[in-house]
Amino acid sequence: MPQRLPKVLAGIALAVVAAASAACSSSSSPPTSGTSPSGVATTPTPTTAKAANFNSCSVVTQSDASSAIGESMSSGVLGHATVEGGLACVFYGPSAPKPHDPDVAQPDSVRVVVVKGPNALKWYNAYRNSPQVHARPIAGYGDKAYYDGYASLSVLKGDFYLRVAVAPAKAPPSLPDEERLAAAILPRL
């Protein structure tokens, strides 16, 4: 009988893991954290940026992304940020090219990157000073902010660097869409 107990416990643990996995992949409610079926980390439910498990998806919701672009979006998926050296939370609309690659900017998507800590100012300035950026100061967001001239809004707030890019499927990026998204996120930083 004592040898049977570890097998029973292992079976119970497997059942709990399977049930949790099924709940996370259910379309009726998005996971609060975990991994997508493809193994990519997702965290579509916002927390505060001060949480121990903080990442860019921690401060933006699927609803925030949908409101910014004006259509339904997928759950957030983590991918490497191309400029900030961190992780981007990427949401996709129905017209986004497939396969979705969160490491590459694509049309019909919303990208949010938050760099937290002492490197925030470094990354904020590095992108602002890069040759492809035509930084235009924008007032009213964080400590300072700029629009890059074509695709994203960058905001510095304390030791956080927030960069948002709203890329509609058939229209050019729109600064008002990015400002609306930044306004939703900034109180969470």
Query: Which residues form the domain of 55?
Result: 31-188
CATH of the domain at 116: 3.40.1000
How many structural domains is the chain composed of? Answer: 1
Give tens-digit pLDDT for 58-104.
999 999 999 999 999 999 999 987 677 678 999 999 999 999 999 88
Residue 72 lies in a domain: yes
Residue 47 lies in a domain: yes
CA atoms within 13 A on the CB side of 130: 13
Residue 169 lies in a domain: yes
Residue 63 lies in a domain: yes
What predicted TM-score, i.e. pTM, was given to this entire model?
0.73
Report the alpha-carbon distance of residue 139 to residue 85 in Å, rounded.
Answer: 26
In order, the DSSP letters of 105-158 are --SSEEEEEEEESTTHHHHHHHHHTSTT---EE-SSSSSEEEE-SSS-EEEEET
Give tens-digit pLDDT for 127-137.
999 998 999 99
User: Do β-strands 41-42 and 34-35 pair in parallel, antiparallel, or remain unpaired?
Assistant: antiparallel
Which strand (E) or helix (H) includes residue 64?
A: helix 62-69
Burial class (CB in 10 A: 0-12, 13-18, 19+), 1: exposed
Type of residue found at 101: D
Of the listed ranges 21-30, 99-108, 161-170, the least confidently predicted one is: 21-30
Residue 55 lies in a domain: yes
Residue 20 lies in a domain: no
